[in-house]
Structure 1
Amino acid sequence: MAFAASLAELQAEASCPICMDHLRDPVTTECGHNFCLSCIHQRWEGLQDTFPCPVCLHHCPDRSLKRNTQLCHMTEIVQQIPTSGSQRKLQEEIPLCGKHNEVLTLFCEKNMELLCAQCKVSSNHQDQRLIPIEEAAASYRRILKRYIGALTNNLENAEMVYKNQAANIWEVKRKMEKWRKEVDYECKNIKFCLEIEQDEIDNDLLIEENDVEEELIENGRQTLDHMFRLSDLLSEIEEKCLQTDLDLLTDIESIHNSYENIEPPAIFSYELKKESFFLPPYYFGLHKMIRMFQVDLTLDPETAHPTLIILRNRKSVLYRTIFGFHNPHELTSCPAVLSSEGFVAGRHFWEVNIEGTAEWSLGVCKESFPRNTLISPSPSNGCWTQTFGPSPIGQGKIGVFLDYELGEVSFYNLNKFSFLCGITATFTGKLMPYFSIASSSESLTTSIIRV
């Protein structure tokens, strides 16, 4: 294969760039290119003063050319070498100028097209810069290599964008699924609250119904007794009217007194109280509070008690008994850890998910809260917390709301969307969210809910 290529190159070197045939009476120009004597004279026919080389356009001073005897002998030898079919095909496939049927040796940078030497003298390209094909190819090969580098970078960037967009699709699906579950949870919670409210209203209505019914029954009995008394008195008076004068006036006083003293029973009147249902008073306020003031917190391992394990995501803390560990920044008074984020003003809301049956404490403390001491957290030393649990169900979501300027820390049951309790104080300096888990034989996990 290499021999065939070398042979093809040898035959190309022994060919005239003008007629593309073997050199006949080869002559060499001043610039070193070789041509058939008849071909170069024909090319320069009609020219005066300037005789350009058909290959490189070098201006030869005159028509005088040196005959190349050695190249003549070499061409004769090359002609005797048999040409294979593939070599003949290669020679036949050499592109020629469509106008002049000559070898394409030049390149026009303006029009970006291949030309032959004859095109140089045509009117369309006299004022244009023409360069040899080899030079043009080398120049554009460098340009194409720059294109390759730029396109490679663009392709890598496009692949990165595609991967990011694919990841974004999954992130959108994850968030939508999360929000879908939250909506489902809230709807079930609303339904649960409404069912409780409905049961309470039904119970109140039943009690009121029974009370009114008893009153009406008693009033009806009294009215019936009064009807009997009126009927008896009416019969007695009618009978009295049929008696003689003497008999009529006998004991008339008792009949008169009975008539005068008849008093009907009081009529029982009632007004039913219409019961109405409503959602828990904090329900809509909590949703607005969460939307406006929720913050994303991470736990600070440097402040963690040695019995606490901070998970890699720095969102969860697990209670475990660990011996032989000491953290110089730990809160040694109780198993606690602080958030990495602190606040010096404003309103902030964060949610905590509790799993387990032990007690836990949530709140805020000053950044200067004493460490490496056995001081218990209290407002006197700059720690405002509330203790919860043990949870009867072993799991719960607690919301913590800090109003720095108002001086309040409020706690909410996010399972029932109800207010639990609150702490009031005067805050100064930086406050850090505080998380503490009481010692327990059972594991307990506290997770800061992601925003």
Structure 2
Amino acid sequence: MAQAASLAQLQAEASCPICLDYLRDPVTTDCGHNFCHSCLLQRWEGLQGDFPCPVCLQHCPDRSLRRNTQLCHMVDVVKQLPNTRRKRKRQEEKPLCEKHHQVLSLFCEEDLELLCPQCKISSHHGGHLVVPMEPAAACHRKKLKGSIEFLTKHLEEADKALEIQTSKAYHLMEEVANQRSKLQVEVEHMKHFLGKMHDDIHFRLLKEEKGVQDEIIEKNNQISGHISMLKTLLDDINDKRVQPDTNLLMGIEKVHSTFENLESPAGFSYELNKEILTLPPQYFGLHKMISKFQEYLTLDAKTAHGSLILSQDGKTATFQRRKQNRAHQSKAFTSHPAVLGSEGFDAGRHFWQVKGRGLGELSLGVCKESFPRNVPIPPTPDNGCWKIQVWATTPDTGASGNSCHIGVFLDYELGEVSFYNLFDRSNLYTFSAIFTGKLMPYFSVCPFATSLKLRLVEDEV
């Protein structure tokens, strides 16, 4: 029994792990495993760079293999040993044709079916390309490798598309949240405005109510006095009527005069002031103005005063009081902390928004392209600068709220520059002029400001 087991183990060691038959022209890999030379080359067909061992998957550096001559001789010796049982077992392990009960050793490339030799000559597969199983397996293994590469590429593209889609969905949800927040702010502004309007109307109605009450009291007093006078006159006439003739006629003129000149007091009449709750037109016009004329401005670093630090995207200018020890651009402001927009306008309608935060005074508006930048003169309409001053009074604590939010609307042909407080949508001021040449968006800060920051925004209010 032990001898049979040893014989079976010896026969197994002399077999190829790939084809399970005795080794033919055996070669040995660097990891020490033995294979038929043709079986190993077939398994590595189509591979480049890395050649894994079919048993332990250790990578072989290249296709150069060592032929094992001693193992070849040993296999010849093992073949002479009795091995009918192993052959029978191997024969049983190979799949058989259900129709002809022969080993399935062929493959039809047209019908993609395993065939036995008898199937090959049948009418069903006549004229079809039929090849041995091993070359067919090698060919389809190569195709499957190509399919794996194709599917891997598509999987990577699908993963990337999912990532992009997820990112888009996130940004859309973020935009929805921003719009919800803006809508909430707008509702709060509207509630504040309506509350103030309600208080004003209520105060006027109370005042009018008191006026009505005072007039009613006055009219009541007049009528009461008139009634009292009528009663007195009536009593006097009744007394006069029963007096003797002499007494009756004495003073009768006065009685008749009083009666004839008697006037009744005017009736009560009052016309109430009609109070109507109306929203200012900017509540309906600003949305249209912003959506139609919104400009996406950036600040021109070449024009920035040395105390203004511009952000990389050109949207923010931060004021920092410091000594002017750097070289100035030829177009830069040196007379006061100011900066211009990168683009100017010589026609059309344009709207932009500025948010301010910090402690100090901001100046916003437009100026002529030729406005002097190194001469200490005040920026006024007389020298080509139309701007207003607004105060930022909230310390820059990094909170989401801003101390001021100003909209600037330029109508070049109409000759107007209007400024709006976008918190309550009120019109702050409007300049009227005749514009010539290019106008540049103008921004400046008070030299005594404390860490003041202004930022260009494109929010829809």
Matched, 1:408 2:408: no
Matched, 1:191 2:200: no
RMSD: 3.6
Matched, 1:389 2:390: yes
Matched, 1:362 2:364: yes
**Structure 1 spans left out of the alignment, 5+ residues:** 16-70
Corresponding letter in the other structure for 1:400:
V
Instruction: Tell me the CA shift for residue 412 of structure 1.
Output: 0.7
Instruction: Tell me the CA shift for residue 367 of structure 1.
Output: 6.2
Corresponding letter in the other structure for 1:199:
D
Structure 2 distance, partners of 1:101, 1:425, is 105
Structure 1 distance, partners of 2:317, 2:102, is 84
Structure 1 distance, partners of 2:434, 2:259, is 79
Structure 1 distance, partners of 2:257, 2:372, is 93
Corresponding letter in the other structure for 1:253:
E
Secondary structure of the structure 2 residue equivalent to 1:179: helix
Instruction: Tell me the CA shift for residue 299 of structure 1.
Output: 3.6
TM-score between both structures, scaled by the size of structure 1: 0.75
Corresponding position of 2:211: 211
Secondary structure of the structure 2 residue equivalent to 1:419: strand
Corresponding position of 2:243: 243
Secondary structure of the structure 1 residue equivalent to 2:191: helix
Instruction: Tell me the CA shift for residue 104 of structure 1.
Output: 3.4
Answer whether contact 2:371 2:385 (CA < 8 A) is retained: no
Instruction: Tell me the CA shift for residue 122 of structure 1.
Output: 1.6
Corresponding letter in the other structure for 1:332:
T
Structure 1 distance, partners of 2:328, 2:136, is 71
Deviations for 1:317-347, whole angstroms, at most 9, x for unmatched residues? 2111354333535443432334445556543
Answer whether contact 1:351 1:399 (CA < 8 A) is retained: yes
**Structure 2 spans left out of the alignment, 5+ residues:** 1-8, 25-71, 396-402
Instruction: Name the CA shift for 1:306/1:208 in 2 (closer, same or farther; >3 Å).
Output: same
Structure 1 distance, partners of 2:191, 2:391, is 26
Instruction: Tell me the CA shift for residue 8 of structure 1.
Output: 3.2
Secondary structure of the structure 2 residue equivalent to 1:12: coil
Corresponding letter in the other structure for 2:262:
I
Instruction: Name the CA shift for 1:79/1:318 in 2 (closer, same or farther; >3 Å).
Output: farther
Structure 2 distance, partners of 1:179, 1:224, is 66
Instruction: Name the CA shift for 1:88/1:448 in 2 (closer, same or farther; >3 Å).
Output: farther
Instruction: Name the CA shift for 1:402/1:160 in 2 (closer, same or farther; >3 Å).
Output: farther
Matched, 1:254 2:254: yes
Corresponding position of 1:276: 276
Corresponding position of 2:95: 95
Instruction: Tell me the CA shift for residue 75 of structure 1.
Output: 5.7
Answer whether contact 2:356 2:455 (CA < 8 A) is retained: yes
Corresponding position of 2:428: 420
Structure 2 distance, partners of 1:391, 1:72, is 98
Corresponding position of 1:145: 145
Instruction: Tell me the CA shift for residue 256 of structure 1.
Output: 2.1
Structure 1 distance, partners of 2:269, 2:124, is 117
Answer whether contact 1:333 1:376 (CA < 8 A) is retained: no
Instruction: Name the CA shift for 1:357/1:246 in 2 (closer, same or farther; >3 Å).
Output: same
TM-score between both structures, scaled by the size of structure 2: 0.73
User: Could you say which structure has the larger radius of gyration?
Assistant: 1
Instruction: Tell me the CA shift for residue 355 of structure 1.
Output: 1.0
Structure 2 distance, partners of 1:263, 1:112, is 125
Instruction: Tell me the CA shift for residue 285 of structure 1.
Output: 0.7
Answer whether contact 2:299 2:314 (CA < 8 A) is retained: yes
Corresponding letter in the other structure for 1:122:
S
Matched, 1:8 2:16: yes
Instruction: Tell me the CA shift for residue 186 of structure 1.
Output: 1.0
Instruction: Name the CA shift for 1:108/1:438 in 2 (closer, same or farther; >3 Å).
Output: farther
Structure 2 distance, partners of 1:11, 1:259, is 147
Answer whether contact 1:11 1:78 (CA < 8 A) is retained: no
Deviations for 1:341-385, whole angstroms, at most 9, x for unmatched residues? 55565433222111123222223456676767767656677x644
Secondary structure of the structure 1 residue equivalent to 2:209: helix
What is the percent sequence identity of the aligned residues?
A: 44
Structure 2 distance, partners of 1:447, 1:5, is 80
Instruction: Tell me the CA shift for residue 422 of structure 1.
Output: 2.5
Structure 1 distance, partners of 2:161, 2:276, is 56
Corresponding position of 1:179: 179
Corresponding position of 1:311: 311
Structure 2 distance, partners of 1:376, 1:137, is 90
Instruction: Name the CA shift for 1:135/1:440 in 2 (closer, same or farther; >3 Å).
Output: farther
Corresponding letter in the other structure for 2:410:
L
Answer whether contact 2:362 2:392 (CA < 8 A) is retained: no
Answer whether contact 1:298 1:448 (CA < 8 A) is retained: yes
Instruction: Tell me the CA shift for residue 167 of structure 1.
Output: 1.9
Corresponding letter in the other structure for 2:223:
T
Structure 2 distance, partners of 1:224, 1:136, is 126
Instruction: Name the CA shift for 1:129/1:349 in 2 (closer, same or farther; >3 Å).
Output: same
Corresponding letter in the other structure for 1:335:
P
Structure 2 distance, partners of 1:303, 1:141, is 68
